[in-house]
C-alpha cells in the first residue's frame, strides 16, 4: 500500500519531541528511535530522517510533502514552501551573546565580528541596526569564538541558556523566538490537499483555514 504522505523530520534536538507530539495527536501509535534508518514507514506515512537545515530542501524540491522545521531554519533559508502551522514545541530563542564585560562595548559598537551558523539572519539583523559586521561562519561550538577572541559576539539558538552560562557568556539581545513549524511543498498542497488537511485536522483543534500563505519572514 502506498503511503499517503512523506514527511521530513529533523534529527537531533527536535526529533523526539516531534514524535511525542505526533503520538499525542494520534498520528503515530508508537514512536521510533533515531538511528541509522533514514526512511521509516508508519501507517499511512513515510518519515525521512534528515538534518534540520535539510528539511526545507527536501520539502521545497518535492521529495517530501510535509516537514517539521524550527523557525530559525525558516528565517535563515527562506525556502519556497507553505508554512502551515506552528506546532508550539521545541521553544528556543535566537540571541546575541558574549562575555559580560563586552556588553557596554556592544551597545556602542559600529563594527562587530560575529560568529554564527546563521549568516543571513545575522547580516540582516545588524544591517537594520546600522552596524557593520564581519560574519564568521561556524557550524558548531560557537561559544568558543568570543572566549578565544575569534569574534566579539555570537548569534546562536539557545534553549535553556545552560551552555552559555557554562562558558561565561550572557545574552545581550534577543532576535526572535523559535518553535517547530509544519511546512508543506506547494505542489503537494494542491495535489494532495485532502491528505494534507486530514493530517492538519489531527494536529489542530479545528479545521484549518483554506487560505494558506507562503512562508514570509516576520517583520
**Per-residue pLDDT for the chain (219 aa), expressed as one digit of tens each?**
467 899 999 999 899 999 999 999 999 888 887 777 788 898 889 999 999 999 999 999 999 999 999 999 999 999 999 999 999 999 999 999 999 999 999 999 999 999 999 999 999 999 999 999 999 999 989 999 999 999 999 999 999 889 999 999 999 999 999 999 999 999 999 999 999 999 999 998 644 444 455 554 433
Judge contact between 48 and 7, C-beta under 8 A.
yes
Tell me, which fold does domain 92-177 have in CATH? D-Maltodextrin-Binding Protein; domain 2 (3.40.190)
Specify the pLDDT at position 208. Answer: 44
Render pLDDT for 68-121 as a digit per residue (tens, 0 to 9).
Answer: 999 999 999 999 999 999 999 999 999 999 999 999 999 999 999 999 999 999
Torsion 119-120-122-128 (CA) sign:
positive
Judge contact between 27 and 47, C-beta under 8 A.
no
Place of cell 511546512: 183
Check: CATH 3.40.190.10 for 5-90+179-203?
A: yes
DSSP code, position 53: G
Can you name the residues that pair with 48 across neighbouring β-strands?
8, 39
Specify the pLDDT at position 4. Answer: 87
Q: What is the pTM of this model?
A: 0.87
CATH code 3.40.190.10 region(s) in the chain: 5-90+179-203, 92-177
Work out the burial of residue 51: count CB atoms within 10 Å of its CB; fewer than 13 is exposed, 13-18 middle, 19 or more buried.
exposed
Report percent pLDDT > 70 for the chain. Answer: 92
Amino acid at each position: 500500500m502506498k503511503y499517503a504522505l512523506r514527511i521530513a523530520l529533523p534529527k537531533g534536538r527536535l526529533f523526539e519531541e516531534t514524535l511525542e507530539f505526533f503520538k499525542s495527536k494520534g498520528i503515530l501509535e508508537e514512536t521510533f528511535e533515531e538511528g541509522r534508518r533514514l526512511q521509516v514507514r508508519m501507517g499511512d506515512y513515510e518519515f525521512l530522517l534528515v538534518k534540520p537545515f535539510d528539511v526545507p530542501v527536501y520539502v521545497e524540491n518535492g521529495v517530501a510533502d510535509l516537514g517539521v522545521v524550527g523557525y530559525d531554519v525558516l528565517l535563515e533559508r527562506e525556502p519556497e514552501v507553505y508554512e502551515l502551522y506552528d506546532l508550539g514545541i521545541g521553544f528556543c530563542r535566537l540571541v546575541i551573546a558574549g562575555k559580560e564585560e563586552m556588553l557596554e562595548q556592544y551597545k556602542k559598537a559600529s563594527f562587530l565580528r560575529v560568529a554564527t551558523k546563521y549568516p543571513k539572519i545575522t547580516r540582516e539583523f545588524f544591517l537594520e541596526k546600522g552596524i557593520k559586521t564581519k560574519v564568521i561562519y561556524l557550524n558548531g561550538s560557537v561559544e568558543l569564538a568570543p572566549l578565544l577572541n575569534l569574534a566579539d559576539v555570537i548569534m546562536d539558538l539557545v534553549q535553556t541558556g545552560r551552555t552559555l552560562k557554562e562558558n561565561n557568556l550572557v545574552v545581550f539581545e534577543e532576535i526572535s523566538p523559535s518553535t517547530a513549524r509544519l511546512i508543506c511543498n506547494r505542489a503537494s498542497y494542491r495535489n494532495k490537499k485532502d491528505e494534507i488537511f486530514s493530517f492538519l485536522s489531527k494536529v489542530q483543534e479545528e479545521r484549518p483555514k483554506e487560505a494558506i500563505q507562503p512562508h514570509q519572514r516576520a517583520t
